[in-house]
Amino acid sequence: MSFLSYFINGISLGSVYAIIALGYTMVYGIAKMLNFAHGDVIMVGGYVIFQLVFALGVHPFIGILIAVIACTVLGVTIERLAYRPLRMAAPLAVLITAIGVSYLLQNLALLIFTSNPKSFQSLINVPALKLADGALVISGETMVTIVVGIVIVVVLSYFIRNTKSGRAMLAVSEDKGAAQLMGVNVNGTIAFTFAIGSALAAIGSVLLCSAYPTLTPQTGAMPGIKAFVAAVFGGIGSIPGAMLGGILLGVIENLSKAYISSQMADAIVFGVLILVLLVKPTGILGKKIQEKV
């Protein structure tokens, strides 16, 4: 039963990575850039919820809703001020800017909230599920995280394929110039993509902080990196790939901690990523794209 428990908890952790990875994969798939500040948007969402719910006593649902709005506004602001002026710049310039925005958010949080860890209590009040006469216990946080991850992927996949805004995203991802000639607002579409990714980061922060109840200015750094790894693992630019990559990453990490070494778990995760990319450079569900010359 212990293996099954570790496996289910790995799926739960992987679902959090998948939700965060969706922000990376959407932005890269449409804007062809890596937003390394995405992990720090998670941290901002966590602090917004902490201040509203635990410091001011706001109802958790209202606190989460305000955090989603705050992260959405932050994501759109970052895109407008930091990334849009570099739309035609070299990829390296955009990458350095993204790293700079990440450190800016971390240091602002450090100045405002200090480095003292905040105790973040779980906002998920779902009773645990006991199976096999109590031999296997699945926490409410685990069940909610898995269900939320599946729902988000299904809804997002439907939105991309069956709505006008989603088809505009697909058009921009294929060819920005051609999409603009067809009347698509490229800047607006990219900003909308950042808005969705940042809203998902806020949801990810609720699930992450509920499972790992310690909040610091660096809270989003490592989960953000691992979510990026999950996106690459599954095939960056693919929504189902982000989900698959996140779950596989979470399961590998959890089983590595349980059966090999908690100190070596991260090294094993990145080692598996290298092996996968050596065999399939585009990731598990990634597709090879022929670039026009």
Please write the tens of the pLDDT for every residue from 175-210: 888 888 888 898 899 999 999 999 999 999 998 888
| Rounded CA separation 292/286 (Å) | 18
In a domain, 91, yes or no: yes
Average pLDDT, the chain: 87
In a domain, 187, yes or no: yes
| Rounded CA separation 19/290 (Å) | 28
In a domain, 204, yes or no: yes
In a domain, 272, yes or no: no
Tens-place pLDDT, residues 113-133: 888 888 888 888 888 888 777
Q: What is the pLDDT of residue 293?
A: 46
Q: What is the pLDDT of residue 111?
A: 93
DSSP 240-280: HHHHHHHHHHHHHHHHHHHHT-TTTHHHHHHHHHHHHHHH-
The yes-or-no verdict on residue 245 having pLDDT over 50 is yes
In a domain, 58, yes or no: yes
In a domain, 280, yes or no: no
In a domain, 281, yes or no: no
Q: Please state the separation of Cα 200 from the chain's center in Å.
A: 7
Q: What is the pLDDT of residue 177?
A: 84
Counted domains in the chain: 1
Helix (H, G, I), strand (E, B) or coil at 138: strand
- What is the separation, in whole angstroms, between the first and last Cα of the chain? 55
Q: Which domain holds residue 137?
A: 2-228
Residues 6 or more apart in contact with residue 279 via CB below 8 angstroms: none
In a domain, 293, yes or no: no
Q: Position of tokens 């080692």?
A: 271
CA atoms within 13 A on the CB side of 162: 6
| Rounded CA separation 248/14 (Å) | 7
Record the pTM: 0.88
Nearest in space to 145 (alpha carbons), one of 11, 287, 40: 11
List the structure tokens of 150. 């599946």
